[in-house]
Each structure stands twice: as C-alpha cells, then as structure tokens.
Amino acid sequence: MRDWLKREPIVIVDAKGAVLRDSRGRQYLDANSSIWTNLHGHRHPKINAALRRQLGKIAHSSALGLASVPASFLAQKLVRAANAGPARTAARQLRRVFFSDDGSTAVEAALKMAHQFACRACPGREPKFLALGGAYHGDTIGAVSLGHIDLFHRAYGGLLFKSDSVPAPYCYRCPFNRATPERADAREYRRCHWECAGLVEQKFEARQSKGGYAAFVFEPLMQGAAGMIAHPKGWLRRVAAIARAHGALLIADEVMTGFGRSGALFACHQESVQPDLMALAKGMTGGYLPMAATLVTQRIFNAFLGRYDEFKTFYHGHSYTANQLGAAASLASLDILQSARCQAARRILEKTLARELQSLWSLPAVGDIRQAGLMAGVELVKNWKTREPFAARDRVGLRVCQALARRGVLTRPVGDVIVLMPPYCTTPAQARRMVAALREAVAEVC
Ligand SMILES: *Cc1c(COP(=O)(O)O)cnc(C)c1O
C-alpha cells in the first residue's frame, strides 16, 4: 500500500483491440487481458452493438422469482457448450445454471451447493473438501477457505473453515524429480513416475474411513494465481478418475481457463474430464461486465427440490444476478468465440507465443517457461541451475512489470512469475512486441 501511494498511477482512459491508452496519451499492449477478463479486445464492435441493443430494452431486472430473455438464452448456450466435450451420458451433463457476479461468487455458490448436496446425501457427516496446494479460488471467505495460499490464510485464518490440500503437480519444483528441464536439450531430467498422482490417491484412501471427500476442487490445466502452474498432460485425467472412484464430486474452477483460454472452449474437456460443478466468470462477458455462472448436473439440482415447507431451496442470491446487460454481452462474446475466425486466430496466437517465448531461455534469470493455450507464465529465479528464487524484498516480478510498462506493455506478476495472457485479437506482431519487451525488461532488472 505504501509503494502504491508513492507512485503516480497509470490512468487508463480508452482502448481499442489489444491497446490501452492512458491520460497522457501513452499506449500500452494489454498483455494480461485486463486481469484475464478480456477475450476479443476492447470496444469490440459486436459486443458494443449487442450492449446498445440491450440498453434500448432494459439494463437490469431482478432474477429472484423472475426470468429474462438474454439470461435464459445464455444459460441454454452455456449448457450446450459445456456438454460438447466428454459428457457421454445424461447424468454427466451440466444441465442447470446459477448466475452470479464474479469468480469468487461462482466458486462460493459451487461450494455451498456441493456442501448441501453432501449433507443431504449423508446426514450427520461434516462434508470435507480437497483442493490443490497453492490454489486460488477467489476472495470471499468460502473461496479463500478452499484456496491454499499461505499469505491469505495468515491474514484471515480465524474466519476460514478447514479444507485439505494435495501438492499441485508443479513440475519445475517437483519434490520427486527434475521433471522439467531448464533447457530444452536437457532430456535426462525426465524421470517422472506420476508420484504426484500417487499422493492424490493416498489422500483419498486416508479419508475413506471418515466418509471420503465431498468434492475435489481444481483449476484445470493451469493454476493461475497459484503462480501459473501448468499441469503435465494426463495429470487431471488421472486424478479426476481417482476422485470419482472415491465418490467425490468434481468442481472445476474454469474462471481463468474457460472461454478459449486453454485453446479449447473449456480446459477440463482437453483432459476428457466432465465435472459435476463448473465455475465460470472472468471472460464470460468478453471482459465487459462482472458476471458469472455455476453450472451443475441435474442430480445436484434435484437435491434442492422439495415441498415448500421442506425449505430445500438454494439459499443464495445476489441483487444483480443474471444481469441483462451482462447476459447480452456474454451472448455476443460466445458468438465471436465460436466463430471459425476467432478459433483460427487463437491457434495462431498460441503458436506465436510458444515460438517467441523460446527466445527467453537464453536469459539466466529465466528458470521456467510455462504455457497452456493462450496462458503463459515465465518464472524468474536467482540461479537457474539450483532453481533458487529471488528474495521477496527484491520485488523482482514487480520491477520487471514496471520496466515492461515503460516499454508500453502492461501486465501483473504473481510473485516472480510474469504472466502473459493477451486478448485473442492480439496480432502476431503485437505478441512479438510483448515478448521482446519482456526480454529487455528481464535483462534490465535481473
Ligand atoms: C480470478 C479467479 C477467481 C475469482 O474471480 P473474481 O472475479 O476475481 O472474484 C476464482 N478462481 C480463479 C481460478 C480465478 O482466476
């Protein structure tokens, strides 16, 4: 807070596509899609037009006991998209949609639903949740309780409930082997025997006598705020099967990974995993408005049906739930997302990023480069041979991002991991400029 007060903030006044402009007329590439929300660029003509059309009708009406046209169509579209993957049976399909306002509330709703579902399935047993080490699922108390970031737990410890964790499959800092080579030619480091998946199995086994876990919560393919931890191919498929075999529900937090970020529409489908609950937010409106959704199976929905005086309804709702403007923006964004043109652009951007990022390996401070689809993280270290991190007081990640801003590129670090997550409209030339600026910034600071 003290550092923030000492600096003049950059005041963003307008934008077009992947370029933001500040009050002094300086331009910046939006290298983290305005904290992972923007998909198709700023002021997209189709989303702008959809919002104008909706403004001509109504901006918002309550969703408590009422429905609306755009939110109903959006629910239908989300359900279709969420079942286009590996849901082979009706029981596996995500059929019901609960709207809320942001990622934290989408997770919070999923948590409460899973909790109630478990309580009704096994009365008298306190449901327990399993999440990944370092996980981040939002900032409300329930979402923080599911998360495992020590700093947050220290700050809010007394307010949180206890959830269990298993180590994330963080290959670069794997305690079992050196699964990820520092340099592409160091192949001898690859000696992985899925010890991390074994730990997940042990965790479930150990809990079995106490009734098992109510749900296993995870970000598929890439954990964002945990430090851009990309999971090795096959890990999620393995651990999801373990969780299912032990009777736990699967809660996929696709708040960051959803809506094309991973390459596919939803990241868990890339591992052939169909969750029972799915939390969506950030990119849902294309980065225009706060809106979120929690998708669930019919079986979970049914647990909230009953006679009036059984009071089984899901006691959770927000004033702006299913906001009509947000739904209109989301519908337009989904249309763009599913167009052949956007899909082709995403493939090209993913390849351009992968190719350009390779050039960073020559910098001694670059310890690891992790990419999943259009999400990338570059982990900076003091010593690439020993993987020793920089001291926190050196604020290396922050300083690299400040050096990036001076070069016309805006992003935020997670510790000493620099995040590149550009909007899908980013051209190959703009992507090259982002990475070139990062190369210079790292060379300058480290
Ligand atoms: C950002 C994020 C959240 C929280 O979303 P907010 O909209 O910021 O509340 C939850 N989960 C993941 C994976 C996120 O990246």
Q: Which two tokens stand for residue 250?
A: 């699967």
Residue 189 clears pLDDT 60, i.e. is over it: no
Tens digit of each residue's pLDDT (9 = 90 or more) over 348-375: 999 999 999 999 999 999 999 999 999 9
Q: Among 111, 105, 231, 102, which residue's Cα sits nearest to residue 166?
A: 231
> How open is the CA angle 41-44-47, to the nearest 5 degrees?
120
Tell me, using a 6 A CB cutoff, whether residue 224 lines ligand 1.
Answer: yes
Compute the average pLDDT of residues 306-332.
96
Backbone Cα Rg of the chain: 22
Contact 287, 38 (CB under 8 A): yes
Q: Reply yes or no on domain 53-337 having CATH 3.40.640.10.
A: yes
> How open is the CA angle 69-72-77, to the nearest 5 degrees?
125
CA 439/CA 294 separation, integer angstroms: 39
For the chain, which residues make up each domain, given as ranges?
Answer: 2-30+342-445, 53-337
The per-residue pLDDT for 86 is 86
- Return the CATH fold of 2-30+342-445: Aspartate Aminotransferase, domain 1 (3.90.1150)
Residue 241 Cα to chain centre, angstroms: 21
Question: Any residues with CB less than 8 A from the CB of 298 and at least 6 apart, and which?
Answer: 90, 91, 93, 95, 96
The per-residue pLDDT for 122 is 87
In the sheet with 94-100, reading across from the earlier edge strand, the strands are 94-100, 292-297, 277-280, 249-253, 215-218, 129-132, 164-166
Residue from 256, 278, 284 to probe ligand 1 pocket by mutation (most atoms less than 8 Å from CB): 256
Tell me, using a 6 A CB cutoff, whether residue 265 lines ligand 1.
Answer: no
CA 252/CA 146 separation, integer angstroms: 12
pLDDT top residue among 152 and 97 = 97
Tell me, using a 6 A CB cutoff, whether residue 137 lines ligand 1.
Answer: yes
Contact 283, 333 (CB under 8 A): yes
Q: Among 284, 299, 295, 294, which residue's Cα sits nearest to residue 318?
A: 294
Tell me, using a 6 A CB cutoff, whether residue 253 lines ligand 1.
Answer: yes
Tens digit of each residue's pLDDT (9 = 90 or more) over 211-249: 999 999 999 999 999 999 999 999 999 999 999 999 999
Tens digit of each residue's pLDDT (9 = 90 or more) over 7-26: 999 999 999 999 999 999 99
Question: Any residues with CB less than 8 A from the CB of 309 and at least 6 apart, and which?
Answer: none
Residue 178 clears pLDDT 90, i.e. is over it: no
The per-residue pLDDT for 188 is 46
Residue 190 clears pLDDT 90, i.e. is over it: no
Tens digit of each residue's pLDDT (9 = 90 or more) over 36-53: 999 999 999 999 999 999
Q: What are phi and psi of 215, to 5 degrees?
A: -155, 155
The per-residue pLDDT for 180 is 62
Least confident of 34-43, 175-184, 422-431: 175-184
How many Cβ atoms sit within 10 Å of the Cβ of residue 163? Answer: 22
Global pTM reads 0.97
Tens digit of each residue's pLDDT (9 = 90 or more) over 200-210: 999 999 999 99
Alpha-helix runs per DSSP H in 295-414: 298-302, 324-337, 340-358, 396-406
Residue from 136, 261, 291 to probe ligand 1 pocket by mutation (most atoms less than 8 Å from CB): 136
Residue 166 clears pLDDT 50, i.e. is over it: yes
